[in-house]
Amino acid sequence: MVLVIYLVIMNLLAFVVYGVDKQKARKHEWRVPEATLILLAVLGGSFGAGLGMLCWHHKTRKPKFTVTVPVFVALWAVFCGFCLYQNYHLTVTEYEAKIGLGHEMTIVQVSDLHNQFFGFGESALLRKIAEEEPDLIVVTGDVLDSFHVSYKIAEDFFAGAVKICPVYYITGNHEVRLDQEKFGEFLDGIREMGVIFLDDAYEDKGEYVLAGIADASLPAFHAYGAFEEEKPVILLAHEPGYVALYQRLRADLVLTGHVHGGQIILPGKGGLLSPEISFFPEYYEGIHDVNGMKMVVSRGLGNSVLPVRINNYPEIVVIKVR
């Protein structure tokens, strides 16, 4: 979404600047330097520049423009197509976790949506989730994005999700940065839909315990103590970096996200960058066995500051828990 906003702005700017420069030329007034006009095309405004050339009949006889602008239209078209596929090609990853349940339960994990658009009403995302026939949907933070907030997209997602099965939600670091009055209204709304808000709370489900940790409570978490070992504990937490805490709480299965798959996954090396700007984070995707505790790290669905994923498709996680 950030990339889309940037390209819209650049192309509108290029179209307008080309038009202004044409008017200046007619009046023999001060002109926009040609280097600036070319730079607008190079930096992403090539579509607007090309449209401006056609609409304003401007620079259409100069090879510098008739060659350069179409070349960058083609390059940006290829780049945008690549980015769209990388950012919107929804994948489903399935894991198995044996934690001592007497039956199999299917959990769908949604993490780091970041207001990403997956069809009107989030229909593409919800359809893929429904196909997995989950018993639970858990949302492990950053369903909203503090840099380009859209409560509507998040509300559409939750409104559709609760029609599939019970939905549990905890906050991530981006929810912490939001206007808390507006965020409180959002919480009230999704609770009315039926979403169960599990920040710093837990539910005894009979055969197992389902617990959640608010991202704002990390690392000094003290909302509840370690669970008894008589029941398996499934813990929802946004960040995978607090492994020691999760072990102290005696969690058997921890579901996390936050790292966005390292944004760029390099074959043989792994995820490149964490949100904390550390290179090649240890936990960037997959299921990990940490001294008997299973921890799932979702690559997530959306982006925030960095607008492009590479070799790192958005991911719906399905966990078959036994």
Token pair listed for 117: 């658009």
Same domain (yes/no): 82, 97: no
Same domain (yes/no): 184, 278: yes
Same domain (yes/no): 66, 202: no
> How many helices (DSSP H) and strands (DSSP E) are in the chain?
9, 14
Residue ending a domain, among 86, 110, 133, is 86
CATH number of the domain residue 269 falls in: 3.60.21.10
Per the prediction, the chain carries an average pLDDT of 95
Same domain (yes/no): 153, 297: yes
Percentages (nearest 5) of helix, strand, coil residues in the chain: 40, 20, 40
| Distance spanning both ends of the chain, measured CA to CA | 38
Q: Tens of pLDDT along 124-173?
A: 999 999 999 999 999 999 999 998 899 999 999 999 999 999 999 999 99
Q: Mention every residue, 6+ apart, whose C-beta is less than 8 A from residue 114.
A: 1, 142, 143, 144, 145, 174, 300, 301, 302, 303, 304
Token pair listed for 53: 């050339």
Rg (CA), the chain: 24
Q: Tens of pLDDT along 20-57?
A: 999 998 988 888 999 999 999 999 999 999 999 999 99
Q: Tens of pLDDT along 250-272?
A: 999 999 999 999 999 999 999 99
**How many domains does the chain contain in total?**
2
Same domain (yes/no): 160, 276: yes
> Domain residues for 29?
2-86
DSSP symbol at 252: S
Token pair listed for 118: 């997956």
10 Å Cβ neighbour count for 77?
Answer: 12
Same domain (yes/no): 199, 116: yes
Instruction: Give the SS3 label for residue 44.
Output: helix
